[in-house]
């Protein structure tokens, strides 16, 4: 079977199901696991992807206001790869090539023999369903059952340790300009990790939030997990937040409870590594219980805690 995956999360799902060797193409954003990074990219952005979060937001909105999709599908590349199955999504118009664009490319260049499988995860339950859908399409049902059982067990283990603890208020920032909080599956992960997610709802798109609302909420903990950003990218424009009036008066700032995590790899992708995301949050929210000497080393690489007053870094 020849599989093209046009979304990082679906690429990770295919690999977790043991079918990475059947991938022949991916999206320009697919970068995990390591063995897929040499695959040809079948998409590209229609906007300049560098710059600040505000500049990126403006470029994307300009395309959407014109009724255009944000990404371009390389039809010739798809044709040369001769896939049997193409995996995509119809949940977020700024996350990957639109379903309409993918289906148009298939009709025009590949014909009816290619199956397009689209998933639309919005919460942990639909993430599981997307794994089932993909597994059914690529003949990996048994592998999917094993993967889902492992994910459920690991999440349950975390929740069992946090369920009776006092939950702090946690604000998860998914974009810096405009300021947005993290919805979809993030509130569930925060709850599993022993916190209360504020200013976002499970299963709903990530909303914009006025700065004055953040000040009113005055959360105990702030996690900064911009969509598609590494820790280094977030740090490069952290002054977008630290320069806000009253930033250093927030409870989380005063108590040094502000964390940057790798949004690109661990929080923005609805796939198997959301289990790792829950563990990262558990260490952030309840460090005395989870931050031990034998904790996974990848957590250190995926999380950054400010050890000084954050406003001085702006």
Which tens digits make up the pLDDT trace of 169-211? 999 999 999 999 999 999 999 999 999 999 999 999 999 999 9
CATH superfamily of 162-313: Nitrogenase molybdenum iron protein domain (3.40.50.1980)
Which class in CATH covers the domain with range 3-120? alpha beta
Report pLDDT digits (tens) over 246-268: 999 999 999 999 999 999 999 99
Mean of per-residue pLDDT scores for the chain: 89
Q: How much is the pLDDT for 177?
A: 94
Query: Residue 240: helix, strand or coil by DSSP?
Result: helix
Instruction: Give all strands (DSSP E) within 185-291, no chain letters.
Output: 196-197, 221-224, 258-261
Kindly give the pairing relationship between strand 169-176 and strand 179-181. antiparallel
Residue pair 241/214 in contact (Cβ under 8 Å)? The answer is no
Q: Are 52 and 240 in contact (CB under 8 A)?
A: yes
Give the pLDDT band (50/70/90) at residue 95. low
Q: pLDDT at residue 93 above 80?
A: no
Residue span(s) of the chain under CATH 3.40.50.1980 come to 3-120, 162-313
Query: In the chain, pLDDT over 90 holds for what percent of residues?
Result: 71
**Which of 185, 171, 258, 184 has its CA nearest to residue 217?**
171
Q: Map tokens 């371009």 to a residue.
A: 72
Say if residues 53 and 176 touch (Cβ distance below 8 Å).
Answer: yes
Q: What is the pLDDT of residues 110-166, one digit of tens each?
A: 767 889 899 989 999 999 999 999 999 999 999 999 999 999 999 999 999 999 999
């Amino acid at each position: 079977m020849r599989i093209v995956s046009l979304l990082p999360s679906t690429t990770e799902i295919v690999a977790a199901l043991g079918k990475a060797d059947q991938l022949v193409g991916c999206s320009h954003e697919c970068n995990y696991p390591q063995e897929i990074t040499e695959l040809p990219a079948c998409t590209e952005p229609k906007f300049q992807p560098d710059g600040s979060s505000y500049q990126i937001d403006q470029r994307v909105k300009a395309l959407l206001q014109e009724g255009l999709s944000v990404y371009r599908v390389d039809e010739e590349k798809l044709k040369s790869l001769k896939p049997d199955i193409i995996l995509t999504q119809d949940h977020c118009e700024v996350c990957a090539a639109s379903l309409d664009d993918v289906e148009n490319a298939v009709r025009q260049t590949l014909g009816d023999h290619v199956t397009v499988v689209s998933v639309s995860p919005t919460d942990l339950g639909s993430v599981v369903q997307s794994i089932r859908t993909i597994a059914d399409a690529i003949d990996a049902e048994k592998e999917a059952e094993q993967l889902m059982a492992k994910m459920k067990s690991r999440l349950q283990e975390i929740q069992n340790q946090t369920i009776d603890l006092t939950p702090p208020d946690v604000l998860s920032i998914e974009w810096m300009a405009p300021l947005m909080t993290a919805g979809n599956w993030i509130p569930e992960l925060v709850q599993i990790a022993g916190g209360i997610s504020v200013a976002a709802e499970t299963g709903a798109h990530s909303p914009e939030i006025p700065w004055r609302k953040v000040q009113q909420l005055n959360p105990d903990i702030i996690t900064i997990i911009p969509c598609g950003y590494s820790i280094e990218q977030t740090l490069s424009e952290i002054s977008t937040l630290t320069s806000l009036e009253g930033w250093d008066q927030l409870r989380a700032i005063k108590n040094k409870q502000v964390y940057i995590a790798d949004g690109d790899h661990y929080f923005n992708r609805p796939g198997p590594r959301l289990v790792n995301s829950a563990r990262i949050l558990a260490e952030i929210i309840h460090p005395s219980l989870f931050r031990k000497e034998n904790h996974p080393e990848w957590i250190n690489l995926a999380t950054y805690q400010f050890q000084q007053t954050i406003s001085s870094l702006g």
